[in-house]
Amino acid sequence: MRGQTNAPRMTIADFLVGDGMKAKHEGETNGPFFRIGDLAQEFGLTLRALRFYEDKGLLRPRRAGVTRLYNLNDYARLRLVIFGRRIGFTLGEISELIGLWEQGLADPSQLSALRQSFIAKLTELEKKKVEIDDTINELRTVLGRLSSLPG
């Protein structure tokens, strides 16, 4: 077929998990797996936050009895969740992004939709930055005027 290659499909973990993390766990046949406390510590989150993200379907750990075991894809998904939250995506939007990401790295139309989501968020943040800069300048003007008053 035209335009297709036999290259292995890139996963979310391939893209978002650093080579150092992959190298650290190279050769592990069943993993790597991280316990909930390991991920909480790694990302500075509470156990409750991780369970919440799991309840929302953003993480899908395996279970060994009552122990949650997260793999590199969960690790990568969590990186995307944290990044998405930091830049202002809702959990619903993050869920859609994860879906696009997991389907779309090999599909040009899905990749385009993913790219457009990030472009839209960048545009929104740039607009907010201009508004914040304007507000800061107004505040500096007011402070300057207040400083010129006696007392």
Domain residues of the chain, as ranges?
12-107
Q: Over the Cα atoms of the chain, what is R_g? A: 21
**Separation of alpha carbons 125 and 106, rounded Å:** 28
Sheet holding 34-35, edge to edge: 34-35, 67-70, 62-64
Per the listing, tokens 């007392």 go with 151
Q: What is the pLDDT along the chain (151 residues), one digit of tens a residue?
A: 444 444 455 555 566 665 555 555 554 445 689 999 999 999 999 999 999 999 999 999 999 999 999 998 898 899 999 999 999 999 999 998 888 877 756 678 877 888 898 899 999 999 999 999 999 999 999 999 999 998 7
Residue 58, SS3 per DSSP: coil
Written out in words, the top-level CATH class of the domain with range 12-107 is: mainly alpha
**Separation of alpha carbons 25 and 19, rounded Å:** 10
**Separation of alpha carbons 149 and 151, rounded Å:** 6
Nearest to 112 by CA among 100, 126, 94: 100
